[in-house]
Structure 1
Amino acid sequence: MNHPAPPTLRTVTGDLPAGSVTGPALAHEHLVLDLDHKGDGAAVLDPDLHTPAVTTELTALREDFGLGLVVELTCRGMGRDVRALARIARDAGIAVVAATGWYYEPFHTPEIDDATVEELARTLVAEIDGGIGATGIRPGVLGEIGSHGDTPTAPEAKVLRASARAALATGLSVATHAQLGRGGIAQLELLTGEGLPAHRVSIGHQDLLDDPAVHVELAASGAYVAFDTVGKDGYQSDGTRLRLLLALIEAGHADRILLSCDISRHGYLLDEGGQGYGHLFRTFLPEVRAAGVDDDLIDLMTRRNPLRFLTGARVEEIRA
């Protein structure tokens, strides 16, 4: 009798059995980034200036909390540097998954303008199969595929559809950017409309949307619901995040929750007085536990769910 191969993660330092990740994951982060449209240098994680601080934080999280995996969703047009990601992964001793795709429309790159959905899908598949540039490093996820508003713009819809086709062709999953949490249902409809199963989709930034009914609808469809801006109090208080999280757990959908901090500015780093990548573990999860959530559900949300999302594995394939 033939048994299916165990689920595998594609990381910047090579393929890794999902079962070898025994500690928690950060499901939506940026380790290297350049979104500096304003010219003030704030929305930057420079591979030369900030990598030492990033590496120091991740190393400490591995030592203190067992952090085993970071899903790094910096894609085309966002200052992606996979060579820097590989250095960080090796130096911190943590698996890092790199991404491909396009962010929301203000950050679209020129090739989107005149390309068809199928042409964009071929661009993504080529990068997934052949590696990013000359690095040979292959993405392990499509993301963060962006839109803003309740309905994606025409270019954003084109990118979402292309991402779904590339995901189907390569076996990867799609993580989205729903600006301020809006438009997630429309994103999911576009992605599944191309034939992508909902369980291969994570709808981003849902902790910024104070609408539990939307969260339940997304989770009930089979999609993952990302509470991935934990600690960004300028957008939403952690108190509201906790209330929304507990409501989704109470509705029976803990198996569809992903958690992360979405560090997207150097000012968020501990080295600069920010909350850091570890805010989830140091501050927010203790509050979740104090609200009555047990360690098995914490492990589900922080380890098993990210592994299942990335690989498409069944619940029983990722051990508790």
Structure 2
Amino acid sequence: MSDLLQTVSGPLPAAAVRGPVLAHEHLALDLTRADSAAALTPGHRAAITEELASLRTEFGLGLLVELTCRGMGRDVTSMARIAADSGVAVIAATGWYYEPFHPGELSRTSAERLAGTLIGEIERGCGGSGIRPGVIGEVGSHGDAPSEPEARTLTAAALAAAATGLSVATHARFGRGGLAQLELLTAAGLPPHRVSIGHQDLLDEPAVHRELAAAGAYLAFDTVGKESYRSDGVRLRLLLALLESGYADRALLSCDVSRHGYLLSEGGTGYGHLFRSFLPRLRAAGVDEELVDRLTRRNPLRFLTGQDGADEGPADGGGPVRGR
């Protein structure tokens, strides 16, 4: 465990992050093999920088966790430029996405060798950039259980995380398979509080959310604003159910901007939808500022640094949301 965050600009004390954190975003991305619009290129860099700078000024945005990993069009040099020009700290990632985006050589490589590749990036930097990842993610699977290649890349992520002290953020497609992901990651030696299960706001199963939280994992409600997948009204209901169950310490929030059409400059909801739309609705539902700060700053910092262990159960035994 360390209170230092590894950002694209170098180490940063977690205590220096005084404003909210976007726990799952993308600044440079290329998933055009599946969707021609799923790209954030150098041509979008100025618009992205302007958005982040505005969020820093208006809402105090302190940190963005960029979960573009190997095979997703990761560009850490572009991330570093955006961080420098916007004044928002950025954490880069390493790992492998879900199977349709795996490079061919993964079919011949053991989990241990894959972990060695990740450890090399974490210790020496990505490519020749010298820019080191500060999180492993978004390592993925699709369906209710990982495929064999996905099981190997998830195991590799866990082994690398255990060796380097980083945390792991997953991609659970449409929110499915989180319990299987957590079982696999913890079986490889990773404590559950070093795991964030992705896209849980796309899974309308509060009992699964409670089971993941009770085990000590974080749940990422990280597609806020993506109404074509799930309405924010449903997201709000699911998050409030988790909070009412006493698991306010286990939730992370973000928007997962993953194609250029989501940018404000192209008429999308942008990186700031969480602050401008969703959090006001959360406050109107009775959530106070202490809890907003917990959800948007303290939880992601604890996830990234591993400074606290898994909770043993509901933090206060359940009850009203306000003040939790």
TM-score for the superposition, normalised by structure 2:
0.94
**Residue matched to 1:28:** 24
- Report Cα offsets for 1:88-109 as digits up to 9, x if no partner: 0000001100000000000011
Cα distance in 2 for residues equivalent to 1:82 and 1:89: 10
**Residue matched to 2:7:** 11
SS of the residue corresponding to residue 58 of structure 2 reads helix
Match among 190, 199, 211 for residue 193 of structure 2: 199
* Structure 1 residue 42 corresponds to structure 2 residue 37: yes
Distance apart, 1:113 and its partner CA: 1.1
Q: One-letter code of the match for 2:295?
A: M
CA RMSD in angstroms comes to 1.0
- Report Cα offsets for 1:51-81 as digits up to 9, x if no partner: 0010000000000000000000000000000
Q: One-letter code of the match for 1:183?
A: G
Residue pair 2:2, 2:305 contacting (<8 A) in 1 also: no
Cα distance in 2 for residues equivalent to 1:262 and 1:110: 26
Q: One-letter code of the match for 2:41?
A: D
SS of the residue corresponding to residue 83 of structure 2 reads helix
Where structure 2 has 5 or more consecutive residues not aligned to the other structure, the ranges are 310-324
**Residue matched to 2:178:** 184
For residues 250-269 of structure 1, what are the structure 2 equivalents within 5 Å? 250-269=244-263
**Residue matched to 2:153:** 159
Match among 68, 72, 75 for residue 78 of structure 1: 72
**Residue matched to 1:95:** 89
**Residue matched to 1:318:** none
Percent identity, please.
69
Distance apart, 1:195 and its partner CA: 1.0
Cα distance in 2 for residues equivalent to 1:154 and 1:275: 36
Distance apart, 1:110 and its partner CA: 2.3
**Residue matched to 1:287:** 281
Distance apart, 1:6 and its partner CA: 6.1
TM-score for the superposition, normalised by structure 1:
0.95
Tell me which stretches of 4 or more aligned residues in structure 1 moved more than 3 Å: none
Distance apart, 1:22 and its partner CA: 0.2
Cα distance in 1 for residues equivalent to 2:118 and 2:299: 25
Distance apart, 1:41 and its partner CA: 3.1
- Report Cα offsets for 1:251-307 as digits up to 9, x if no partner: 000100000000000000000000000000000000000000000000001000000
Where structure 1 has 5 or more consecutive residues not aligned to the other structure, the ranges are 316-320
**Residue matched to 2:127:** 133
* Structure 1 residue 123 corresponds to structure 2 residue 83: no
Cα distance in 1 for residues equivalent to 2:217 and 2:21: 18
* Structure 1 residue 108 corresponds to structure 2 residue 119: no
Cα distance in 2 for residues equivalent to 1:314 and 1:143: 20
SS of the residue corresponding to residue 170 of structure 2 reads strand
Cα distance in 1 for residues equivalent to 2:200 and 2:225: 14
Residue pair 2:69, 2:96 contacting (<8 A) in 1 also: yes
For residues 211-226 of structure 1, what are the structure 2 equivalents within 5 Å? 211-226=205-220
Cα distance in 2 for residues equivalent to 1:297 and 1:118: 40
Cα distance in 2 for residues equivalent to 1:28 and 1:37: 21
The total of aligned residue pairs comes to 309
SS of the residue corresponding to residue 283 of structure 1 reads helix
